[in-house]
Structure formats: C-alpha cells, structure tokens
Amino acid sequence: MTEEEAWLLQMECTRFFQNNPYSMETAEGISLRLGRKVEHLSPVLGRLVMLSILEKVGNGSRSIYRYIEPNFNGDMDVQWNIH
C-alpha cells in the first residue's frame, strides 16, 4: 500500500467513526464494514490511536476501537477528549 493509499484509508476510517460515533469495532469488523483488508487497516488504526482520534481497548485481534469525539470551543479550536 502506498503512502497516499494509507492516507486515504485513514480518512475513510475517520469518516466511518465520525458518522458512527458510538460504534465499537474490532479491526475485522471495520474491515467488513469498509470492505478493506485487515492487514491494510491495522497500521492505519494504529496511527489513528497514536493521533488520539481513536481509542483502542484490549490487545490482539480482539482489540476494540472507538472514536474519541473532538471537543469544539468557541474559538473553533479543536481539542480531543482523551479519557
């Protein structure tokens, strides 16, 4: 997968969770919903966790990913809610 393809997949994953903010999915579940391969999703999900866009609960193939909804203040600055 090229860097551009990874970036596009990262945006696709982010949009999925923005559109489904209460969704809690495994990498396999996300791959089924997006029609993508788990091996392509895994590094992208890891990056979204590192960027605090997603939260990862658990380890291994049973890890659950969920969206961390951003907090918008009056100045239009975005702050991510990190638990």
Report pLDDT for 83. 56
C-alpha–C-alpha distance, residues 73 and 81, integer Å: 12
**Overall pTM surpassing 0.95 (yes/no):** no
C-alpha–C-alpha distance, residues 51 and 60, integer Å: 20
Domains and CATH numbers, the chain: 3-68 (1.10.10.10)
Report pLDDT for 11. 96
Report pLDDT for 75. 61
User: For the chain, which residues score pLDDT lower than 50?
Assistant: none
